[in-house]
Structure 1
Amino acid sequence: MLHAKRKKVVSLLLAGVLAVLSCSCGNSSKEESSKEEADSNPRTEMRDDMTTSQIVEEMGLGINLGNTLEACGDWIDSSGGVNSYETAWGSPTITEDMIAGYAAAGFDSVRIPVAWSNLMAEDYTIAPELLDRVETVAQYVLDNGMYAVVNLHWDNGWIAGFSTDYDTCMEKYTRIWEQVTERFADYGDHLILESMNEEGCFDDLWNRYSGSDDSKAEAYGIVNRINQQFVDLVRDSRGNNPRRHLLIAGYATDVDLTCDEAFQMPQDEAGRCAVSVHYYTPPTFCILEEDADWGKAKTMWGSPRDQRILENDMDKLKSRFLDNGVPVIIGEYGCFTKNKTEETVRTFLTAVAQAAYTKGMCPMLWDVTGVFYDRNNCRMLDSQLEQDLQEIAAAPRDGVHNVSGN
């Protein structure tokens, strides 16, 4: 009887031990599973084996969330908070469904232009509300499997002051990026930071039509110093930032001016920088809606000469950057649609996308509310354009350009 009880007790003890071990193993399995999920989460995953060239390739075709978080103006009532700015230039409040619609349309990356000065104290402290909102929109992008590019946009034009008051402007620039890098420090490699928009040019010092060699060197030198400060700031911050892939704005983000040898990519021990240019060529087609003193508005695009200029521009970028291991992102391309047929607009957009994409670049369409994408109904307005872009993204492209670790 005692033996039987002892046997029963031992059996119960063994059962308890096995149960504990079973629970322990189960927890271990869950912990490993949770870790694997965290490691593959676009919000947090940082892949050390991915070069910037490979990241740019994965970014596929991109689109801009234009005229939204970068909207600014003294007439906007700041008492309404972030939403007053977000909707000031005509955009509805951004929702996750809108962003999901980008992914459904075939885009793999979204650029989020931001005016950080909109809600900023005199000591350059950005309102937490604005940081929160930008982070939320970036999360929408990441959670839909796309890459997010967060930048410093025109921001009421204060960057132009670098040529006359460098130290004050650099103090503001530094404070902005200290706060932005801190906010996004723990995000993975699907979150890319961009040094500035196309304001990195100083026509008061030099432009392509006038100015001495010395003034040109000074103007380019300011842009080069700003970009170097940007890289140094990010690399010296915490979390994943020392390894983050960065986007460096070219001189005026202009193809010819950025391909000029006076423009220099910043030194980066991590070797994780791409260059950004914008493509609005020819401006008489892309920008002008009516004749101006500097040009006659062009309503058609697609002649052999038009195609040749586009290919030559892409070849310049390939020779200057891709062939030297620097990935290229066309941070903006597009055109105004007034006085142009839908077919002509489509021809231009698909030609630029294809010319850039097939060479391994990431072209990012500049879009604002109701032009190419309907933010209210979360879909592309031109279904043929959507199909054409998807076919471009599915076509073969040049191999990844990977030199010097980029």
Structure 2
Amino acid sequence: MKQLKWTAAICSTAILFSSVSMSAFAAPTKMRDISTMDYVREMGLGINLGNTFESCGEWIDKWGDGTPKAYETAWGSPVITEDMIKGYADAGFGTLRVPVAWSNLMGDDYTISDAYLGAVQEVVDWALDYNLHVIVNLHYDGGWLANFPTDKETCMTKYTRIWEQISDAFQDYGDYLVFESQNEELGWDSLWNRWSSSTDGKAESYALVNEINQKFVDIVRASGGNNAKRHLLISGYGTDIDLTCDPLFQMPQDPANHCAVSVHYYTPSDFAILEEDASWGKVRSTWGTDADIQQLNHYMDMLQTSFVDKGVPVIIGEYGCPKKNKDADSVRLFLSSVCEAAYSRKMCPVMWDVTGLHYDRSACQMYDSVLQENFQKILQTYNDTKIGDINQDGSVTITDVVLLQQHLLQEKSLTAAQAKAADTWSDGVLNSFDVTALRQTVLTFT
């Protein structure tokens, strides 16, 4: 009799939800009650849409046709398509970072072109359609931020206008969209040179970085809509780990308490940056010595101690290396090692990528299937979510089944971690199939 009741309940549930498919992820306009620490964990592994919307230069203005595509393709990228974006999700990435030079096609009073904003917005929409978290930033943008120390008023006016417009355009987007205050440009050698023995100007330079980041938070929070609670990414000092971990760097005050810090990892630079010898270094083709691994762990431990352990989430907004004049196994080892070192410490690593490097924008897939497999193994190894344990009490019981049913009936909402645990089919969708599978699990083990 008990079995018959279970079967009837299962059939009833299947009929009730046969036409209902509720995503385990955020709806386009949904803001969930989730901490930024949990949110960063949810982001998984990321990849950059590099050398695309952040392309800039007067020659593009002069020789281009005046459309967003002229900038989108100026640095070698094809026009971005929905299939390319889908390919990132299919490859297992959970986050897409979209660097942007907002001065392109900018009009009077620092007004962003509707066409340019629309082109960026289209890519963001595609990414959200495939359940990718999206980071939109203000990138190098022609270098005008270098003038902050000498023309602060003008620069702050432009900075404010840019973020007011971005905030307004995306204010109704859900929490799968993140704003990032800046790329690597916050920190000025004209005020303080880290390589000098003097500390003159250091406090001033840090104070200006902190002021700009605080301005960013204030602009977004005051802009209305979902921006009052949006998760924000705060650029570290030059996104350098050593400099960002300096006590002079301060996270901004945020009434929503929804901020993470961004740093980049291109260490050692003779391997991770150089493709050929330069005046400051000799190119290195291999990576993976004991000293290399020790150096990597040193920096990741520094981030964990300085931020994660203190409740401040960390996103490695860029890490990577070129392939030219590099040993292929070393490239794979470096990328996998950095990814694992960050993700195992509950940080989100976002690999830097451009056309023709790690992701094939023509075939819409990774060039290196072994690297892709390594990334998936990292996700599986450090995934701390027990499938089915929706209420996170350490076991799978009828209580979890009831909680999922209440969610599907829109009686209760699930946090991101709970939704992930409820996705028993691992298809990114919560529906009657998950209820049935969860019921069967309870029956089997009770």
Please classify the TM superposition score into its range, dividing by the shorter chain length: 0.7 to 0.9
Give the match's secondary structure for 1:179: helix
1:380 aligns with 2:366: yes
Residue 233 (structure 1) aligns with: 219
The letter for the 2-side match of 1:145 is: N
- 1:126 — aligned with what? 112
Aligned to 1:251: 237
Corresponding residue of 1:72: 56
Matches within 5 A, 1:39-50: 41-48=26-33, 50=34
Question: 5 Å matches for 1:47-126?
Answer: 47-48=32-33, 50-76=34-60, 77-126=63-112
Inter-partner Cα distance in structure 1 for 2:24 and 2:109:
37
Deviations 1:147-184 (CA, angstroms, capped at 9, x unpaired): 00000000000011101100100000000000000000
Instruction: Report how far residue 398 of structure 1 moved.
Output: 7.4
Question: What amino acid does structure 1 have at the position aligned with 2:55?
Answer: A
Query: 1:3 — aligned with what?
Result: none
Deviation for aligned residue 1:78:
4.7
Task: Kindly indicate whether residue 205 of structure 2 is the aligned counterpart of residue 205 of structure 1.
Answer: no
Check the 8 A contact 1:273/1:326 in 2, yes or no.
Answer: yes
Match of 1:20 in 2: none
Distance between the aligned counterparts of 1:38 and 1:352, measured in 2?
A: 31
Give the CA deviation at 1:236. Answer: 0.6
1:20-53 Cα distance to aligned partner (Å, 9 max, x none):
xxxxxxxxx99xx99x9699653111002x0001
Q: 1:219 maps to which residue?
A: 205
Residue 327 in structure 1 maps to residue 332 in structure 2: no
Q: What is the CA distance between 1:288 and its match in structure 2?
A: 1.4
Q: Which protein shows a greater Rg?
A: 1
Paired amino acid for 1:45: K
- Partner letter of residue 253 of structure 1? T
C-alpha deviation, 1:210, in angstroms: 1.8
Q: Which whole-Å CA distance do the structure 1 matches of 2:353 and 2:369 have between them?
A: 15
Query: What are the residue-to-residue correspondences of 1:294-333 with 2, within 5 Å?
Result: 294-333=280-319
Correspondence 1:338 to 2:295: no
How far apart, CA to CA, are the structure 1 residues paired with 2:204 and 2:145?
Answer: 15
- CA distance in 2 between partners of 1:292 and 1:72 (Å): 24
Alpha-carbon distance in structure 2 between the residues aligned to 1:104 and 1:85: 27
Q: Which runs of 5+ in 1 are unaligned?
A: 1-28, 400-406
- Distance in 1 separating the partners of 2:273 and 2:66: 32
Output the amino acid matched with 2:27. Answer: P
C-alpha distance in 1, partners of 2:65/2:152?
31
How far does residue 291 in structure 1 lie from its aligned partner after superposition? 2.2
AA partner of residue 171 (structure 1): T
* CA–CA distance in structure 2, aligned partners of residues 301 and 97 of structure 1: 34
Indicate the residue corresponding to 1:150 in structure 2. Answer: 136
Cα deviation per residue 1:299-348 (whole Å; 9 max; x = unaligned)? 11000000000001000000110011100000000011111121110000
Structure 2 gap ranges (5+): 1-15, 386-446
- Which of 239, 245, 251 is residue 265 of structure 1 equivalent to? 251
Give the alignment's TM-score, normalised by structure 1: 0.87
Which one of the candidate residues 129, 149, 153 is aligned to 1:163? Answer: 149
Secondary structure of the corresponding residue to residue 58 of structure 2: coil
**CA separation in 2, counterparts of 1:64 and 1:121?**
27
Greater mean deviation of Cα atoms: 288-297 or 135-144: 288-297
**Aligned residue type for 1:385:** L
In 1, Cα distance between the equivalents of 2:27 and 2:163? Answer: 22
Alignment RMSD (CA, Å): 1.8
Map of 1:7-46 to 2, 5 A cutoff?
Answer: 41-46=26-31
Name the residue aligned to 1:136.
Answer: 122
Q: 2:234 is paired with a residue of what secondary structure?
A: strand
Partner secondary structure for residue 276 of structure 1? strand
Q: Is the 8 A contact 1:360 1:398 kept in 2?
A: no
Residue aligning to 2:228: 242
Conserved 8 A contact 2:26-2:175: no
Distance across 1 between alignment mates of 2:39 and 2:98? 17
Q: Find the aligned partners of 2:206 and 2:325 in 1 and give their Cα distance.
A: 37
Residue number among 345, 353, 357 corresponding to 1:359 in the alignment: 345
Letter of the 1:44 partner, please give it. T
User: Take 1:82 and 1:97, find their aligned partners in 2: how far apart are those partners?
Assistant: 19
TM-score normalised to structure 2 length: 0.80
The residue type paired with residue 43 of structure 1 is P
Any runs of at least 4 consecutive aligned residues in structure 1 with deviations exceeding 4 A, and if so which?
A: 36-41
CA contact (8 A) 2:286 2:326 kept: yes
Separation (CA, whole Å) in 2 of partners of 1:148 and 1:260: 28
- Secondary structure (helix, strand or coil) at the match of 2:88 reads helix
